[in-house]
């Protein structure tokens, strides 16, 4: 069984072999194959978006995806929610001595397939190896570059009282999948991670309405944390309606048993949007025509309250105030 050794991180013969046999083979494109210390992009226009993320998820393979697919989709999503067209990604691998090369190749193939689907090129990379017990199989950094085709301001400055909050589908699937895998919880459920790239869904949305004022993918910290972030420093608040928030029954049941709140659980293929009241229905219809948005729903609205709060109206008409996540109940979900 071939495994990663410290020599694969030496920058010498074994590093080159690995790069040739695994990385160049699967990521092959003309920019990467320049093989320079930097990769040169000949012509990129004016305004660009740049984002970086490291992925340390455990386990590295899970129902619905793996660390490779996650690393590409996550970075593509971060670019796309800014309104950018994702184009280029760099990858940095930190591998633990002993990682099986067949696992590495499976991850790399998964990255190559995700990149192909997203229309992005992997243009530069780096390989480091740490001793056994100084890592956990593999960590991946992806940095993405995208370009803008329109001038729509999605930073949230256009948000107004009355605007609707939309989520693209069921919440908590990713986090609960990872938890069940890791703790070997056998709930006999069919839950799998929603890990996916949302750039085409976002493209559809932006084509439908110019009154989309904010888009973000709901990842670490769940919907509550994401909305609370948006509201920071804002002179208005959000009211969410629990009954309207799409959550799978099995996810809801597992959360109940374990004492988790699905509004704090991570997703890797879900969006939250803030859209004018007028355009909300139109946007929902567009989203439901895309498989990744088929459970899209209006879940709340912007209200006058000046505190920058996020309120949750419960089914029995109570009101809770939601804050950012405090403790990390399910660490390393991305």
- The piece of 65-73, 126-134, 246-254, 297-305 that touches its own copies (CB under 8 A) is 126-134
User: Does 300 engage in binding with its own copies (CB under 8 A)?
Assistant: no
User: Does 269 engage in binding with its own copies (CB under 8 A)?
Assistant: no
Residue 181, classified by CB atoms within 10 Å of its CB into exposed (0-12), middle (13-18) or buried (19+), is middle
Query: Rule CB under 8 A: which of 156-215 touch its own copies?
Result: none
Q: Identify whether the C-beta of residue 262 lies closer than 8 Å to the C-beta of residue 172.
A: yes
User: Does 121 engage in binding with its own copies (CB under 8 A)?
Assistant: no
* Beta carbon of residue 155, minimum distance to its own copies (angstroms, whole number): 6
- Pick 172 or 221: Cβ nearer its own copies: 221
Distance of CA 121 to the CA centre of its chain: 18
Please list, residue by residue across 21-42, b when 16 or more beta carbons sit within 10 angstroms of its beta carbon and e when fewer do: ebbbebbebeebeeeeeebeee
User: Does 62 engage in binding with its own copies (CB under 8 A)?
Assistant: no
User: Which residue, among 206, 229, 232, has the nearest Cα to 218 in the 3D structure?
Assistant: 229
User: Which residue, among 2, 53, 46, has the nearest Cα to 334 in the 3D structure?
Assistant: 53
- Pick 221 or 291: Cβ nearer its own copies: 221
User: Does 59 engage in binding with its own copies (CB under 8 A)?
Assistant: no
User: Does 141 engage in binding with its own copies (CB under 8 A)?
Assistant: yes
Query: Rule CB under 8 A: which of 279-298 touch its own copies?
Result: none
- Pick 11 or 162: Cβ nearer its own copies: 11
- Pick 243 or 332: Cβ nearer its own copies: 332
Sign of the alpha-carbon torsion through 184, 269, 172, 252? negative
- Pick 315 or 327: Cβ nearer its own copies: 327
Name the token pair of 24.
């160049």
């Amino acid at each position: 069984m071939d495994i990663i050794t410290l020599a694969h991180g030496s920058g010498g013969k074994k590093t080159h072999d690995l790069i040739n046999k695994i990385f160049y083979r699967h990521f092959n494109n003309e920019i990467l194959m320049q093989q320079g210390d930097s990769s040169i992009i000949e012509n990129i226009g004016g305004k660009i978006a740049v984002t970086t993320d490291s992925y340390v998820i455990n386990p590295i393979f899970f129902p619905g995806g793996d660390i490779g697919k996650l690393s590409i989709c996550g970075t593509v999503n971060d670019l796309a929610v800014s309104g950018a067209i994702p184009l280029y990604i760099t990858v940095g691998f930190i591998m633990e001595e002993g990682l099986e090369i067949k696992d590495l190749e499976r991850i790399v193939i998964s990255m190559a397939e995700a990149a192909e689907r997203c229309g992005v090129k992997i243009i530069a990379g780096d390989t480091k190896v740490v001793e056994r017990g100084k890592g956990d199989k593999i960590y991946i950094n992806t940095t993405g570059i995208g370009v803008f085709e329109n001038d729509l301001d999605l930073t949230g400055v256009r948000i107004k009282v009355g605007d609707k909050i939309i989520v693209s589908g069921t919440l908590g699937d990713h986090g609960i999948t990872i938890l069940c895998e890791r703790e070997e919880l056998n709930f006999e459920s069919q839950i799998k991670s929603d890990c996916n790239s949302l750039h085409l869904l976002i493209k559809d949305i932006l084509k439908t309405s110019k009154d989309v004022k904010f888009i973000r993918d709901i990842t670490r910290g769940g919907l509550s944390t994401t909305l609370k972030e948006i509201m920071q420093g804002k002179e208005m608040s959000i009211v969410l309606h629990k009954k309207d928030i799409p959550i799978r029954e099995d996810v809801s049941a597992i959360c109940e048993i374990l004492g988790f709140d699905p509004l704090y659980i991570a997703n890797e293929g879900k969006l939250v949007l803030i859209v004018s009241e007028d355009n909300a229905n139109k946007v929902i219809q567009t989203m439901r025509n895309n498989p990744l948005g088929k459970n899209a729903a209006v879940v709340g609205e912007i209200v006058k309250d000046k505190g920058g709060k996020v309120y949750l109206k419960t089914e029995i008409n109570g009101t809770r105030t939601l804050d950012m996540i405090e403790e990390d109940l399910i660490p390393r979900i991305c």
